[in-house]
Amino acid sequence: MLKAFIFDVDGTLADTERYGHRVAFNQAFEDSGLDWAWSEATYGELLAVTGGKERIAHYLKTRGKPEHDRADLESLIARLHARKTENYVALLERSAIPLRSGVQRLLQEARERGLRLAIATTTTPRNVTTLLANALGKESIDWFDVIGAGDIVPHKKPAADIYRYVLQQLGLGAEDCLAFEDSLNGKIAALDAGLKTVITYNGYTENDDFSEAALVLDRLGDANKPSRVLQQSLQQDYLSVDLIERILQQKIGLN
Ligand code: XBP
Ligand code: MG
């Protein structure tokens, strides 16, 4: 019996990486007098590492940038990431990044049906509340019973920590919940926490391995921007709570 939807943020609620986070990282590097600039392609590779601080550390290691001693390195990364978060929040406040098609519709449908909502993300908590406030209004933050984000857990996705944390805070078992993700790292984290998982892939993740996911879609879809995958396989335009329940009860399969 479905009791809650648990949403990933970046790439799932909104397409935030290519023109949001990546731009904020590059601006932080420039603000700090560094000649680093992550192209869209380079960033796509770096997305294999979740967490902005971890991503910068990985970049330093693999690109052989001048070695710093450990203490220096950690404070450099912390400073750069703090700057990046300021840039990202300012970017969201200047021009809200829209939610992906069908996200607002499904959130509202779930609330009307009495389903609980939660967030399980690798990104910094402030990025989540700013995205929601600018895309849906400040009150939307309270639609979510739990917002599990960033450093609240010791290990980020693909570790299952954040999903286990959110389930524990919800007081629900994985069998009563459904996860919504966009990437391989997110799928691994959700499945390892025992959650059935719906994938809505995007430009950066469309070639990831989504085997074992309950559903793999191009988007949740809505009347004016339908899901092509759902149209082709089930002659439906978008993923509704009813359709989710029918698929999960194996009343219908996708193929
Ligand atoms: C995506 C991430 C985050 C963002 C950057 O998180 O891995 O690291 O790319 O945000 P998810 P931070 O898909 O789990 O929402 O710089 O705040 O980490
Ligand atoms: Mg994601």
10 pocket-lining for ligand 1 (C-beta < 6 Å):
yes
Q: What is the mean pLDDT of residues 81-101?
A: 96
User: For residue 205, which ligand has an atom nearest its CA?
Assistant: 2
- Distance between Cα 252 and ligand 1 center (Å): 34
What DSSP state is assigned to residue 195?
-
User: What are the φ/ψ torsions at residue 61 (nearest 5 degrees)?
Assistant: -65, -50
Closest-CA residue, ligand 1 atom 3, reads 123
- Distance between Cα 155 and ligand 1 center (Å): 13
User: For residue 121, which ligand has an atom nearest its CA?
Assistant: 1
| pLDDT tens digit sequence for 196-251 | 999 999 999 999 999 999 999 999 999 999 999 999 999 999 999 999 999 998 76
Distance (Å) of CA 147 to CA 61, 137, 140: 31, 16, 12
> In the chain, pLDDT over 70 holds for what percent of residues?
96
Q: What is the mean pLDDT of residues 144-151?
A: 98
Look at residue 255 in the predicted model and tell me its pLDDT: 43
Region of 41 (left: φ > 0; alpha: ψ -120 to 50; beta: rest) is alpha
| pLDDT tens digit sequence for 124-146 | 999 999 999 999 999 999 999 99
Residue 50 scores a pLDDT above 50: yes
Look at residue 62 in the predicted model and tell me its pLDDT: 86
Distance CA(17)–CA(183), nearest Å, equals 12
Look at residue 183 in the predicted model and tell me its pLDDT: 98
Look at residue 69 in the predicted model and tell me its pLDDT: 77
Residue 254 scores a pLDDT above 60: no
pLDDT range class, residue 66, cuts 50, 70, 90: low
pLDDT range class, residue 93, cuts 50, 70, 90: very high
CB atoms within 10 A of CB 72: 10
Name, in order, each residue with C-beta under 8 angstroms of 134's C-beta and a sequence gap of 6 or more.
Answer: 92, 93, 96, 97
- Distance between Cα 225 and ligand 1 center (Å): 26
CB-CB contact of 202 with 15 (8 Å) = yes
186 pocket-lining for ligand 1 (C-beta < 6 Å):
yes
Q: Which residue has the higher pLDDT, 250 or 165?
A: 165
127 pocket-lining for ligand 1 (C-beta < 6 Å):
yes
> In the chain, pLDDT over 90 holds for what percent of residues?
91
Beta bridge partners of 196: 178
DSSP count for the chain of H helices, then E strands: 10, 6
Distance CA(213)–CA(30), nearest Å, equals 39
Active site residues: 8, 10
Look at residue 125 in the predicted model and tell me its pLDDT: 98
Q: List, in sequence order, the alpha helices (H) in 32-69.
A: 40-46, 52-62
Residue whose CB lies within 8 A of the most ligand 1 atoms, among 25, 123, 144, 195, for a mutation test? 123
Beta bridge partners of 126: none
| pLDDT tens digit sequence for 27-36 | 999 999 999 9
Look at residue 63 in the predicted model and tell me its pLDDT: 75
pLDDT range class, residue 116, cuts 50, 70, 90: very high
User: For residue 82, which ligand has an atom nearest its CA?
Assistant: 1
Residue from 178, 100, 96 nearest 129 by CA: 96
State the pTM of this model.
0.96
Residue from 51, 57, 23 nearest 37 by CA: 23
Residue 39 scores a pLDDT above 80: yes
Look at residue 70 in the predicted model and tell me its pLDDT: 76
Q: List, in sequence order, the alpha helices (H) in the chain.
A: 22-31, 40-46, 52-62, 70-94, 103-112, 125-136, 161-170, 184-192, 228-234, 241-248
